[in-house]
Structure 1
Amino acid sequence: MRKIIMPAVFAALCIFLILNPAGLSAQTGNGESGDTSSDPSLVAVGSLSASNLYLSYLVLGTVADGYVSGSYDLETTKSIARETIFLNGNSRDALQDLLDSEVIAREEARVVSDMIESYGILDNMAGALLNFIEDENDNGSAYQTFRKEAWERISALLGLEE
């Protein structure tokens, strides 16, 4: 497993989130999209969701690396992976409620759907990590597949280049 984040990437992400929060905008009463900056609650949802996806990815990568290197024991690794699944489930459910409420425009709904799908991939990544640490015959290939898929989706959502 490789290092997942470099300081320059983290700095770029922080700058991106501050200057250009995820592209969610309010839908006006007549079904037209409003200016993103006019609805701070949607800007907050976009920014927090984007950073949570990114940080969830980092947590799973860090705990996997920590387990393989011996820095984390089996129980700590399992606990962190399960907690990540639980917390991501709450975020996914909240985004689904937002989507179901139909208060956001179609383009923004697509972004929210992409975020929901990204949480699902992170859950698959965490599940594959749990399988890897619990089954000595698991070589970690499923974890690596989900890790790569999660990064592709999250980096696309955030506009980061690999």
Structure 2
Amino acid sequence: MKLVAVLLFTFFGFSTVKAQCDADVREAFGGVASITIYNTYLTIGAIADAHVNAVYDADRVKELMGEQTAMLQSVIDMLEKCKVAKSNGLSADDVEYVKDLIACLQSLKKEAQGLSDYVIDQNADAQTRYNTNRDKAWDQIKALMGLE
């Protein structure tokens, strides 16, 4: 009987630890996601400023924005696999967060693509895409991070 009690205690004790670990992992994921979207937003803006101030030429901006869009697409592809609540421990709220995060990353990607296109020929359409997606990304970042 003592063995059964020890096994039950051990099982439920580890379940509590696992549940806490899952919560810690979700919290850490949210923190990493927040840093990623905020820093990506700043990076794209800083590179745009560097171009305007003749620190980076158009080719360098295109190269850097190509790196940004490739990294953003990789993360989007990874997150797409997490959009369905199933036995992986994600709640419906977690899934909604992932969907909102993907939408923000897509806006950042479009912002980077707009900048990349704009630096080549100062096309007004590209500038509009850059500005529109920059504003949209900032609104999404504020919502995801709970900023005002």
Distance 1:51 1:36 in 2: 23
Cα offsets for 1:115-158 (capped at 9, x unmatched):
00111111110111111111233372221111101100111110
**TM-superposed deviation, 1:37:** 6.8
CA contact (8 A) 1:81 1:129 kept: yes
Q: Looking at secondary structure, tell me which structure has more helix per residue.
A: 2
**TM-superposed deviation, 1:105:** 0.6
**Is 1:123 the equivalent of 2:134?**
no
Number of aligned positions between the proteins:
128
Distance 2:46 2:32 in 1: 20
Aligned to 1:4: none
CA contact (8 A) 2:79 2:98 kept: yes
Q: Is there any run of 5+ residues in structure 2 with no aligned partner, and where?
A: 1-17
Distance 1:122 1:111 in 2: 16
Distance 2:123 2:70 in 1: 26
Aligned to 1:149: 136
**Is 1:113 the equivalent of 2:86?**
no
TM-score (norm 1): 0.71
SS in 2 for 1:75: helix
Q: Which has the larger radius of gyration?
A: 2
CA contact (8 A) 2:84 2:95 kept: no
Decide which of 43, 47, 51 is 1:59's aligned counterpart.
Answer: 43
Quickly say closer, same or farther: Cα 1:110–1:68, change in 2 above 3 A: same
Task: Give the AA of the match of 2:40.
Answer: S
CA contact (8 A) 1:66 1:72 kept: yes
Q: Is there any run of 5+ residues in structure 1 with no aligned partner, and where?
A: 1-33
Aligned to 2:55: 71
**TM-superposed deviation, 1:101:** 6.3
**Is 1:92 the equivalent of 2:76?**
yes
Distance 2:139 2:76 in 1: 18
Following TM superposition, where does structure 1 have runs of at least 4 consecutive aligned residues deviating by more than 3 angstroms? Answer: 34-38
Quickly say closer, same or farther: Cα 1:71–1:125, change in 2 above 3 A: same
TM-score (norm 2): 0.78
- % identity of equivalent residues: 27
Cα offsets for 1:53-100 (capped at 9, x unmatched):
111111111101111111111121111111111111121122222224
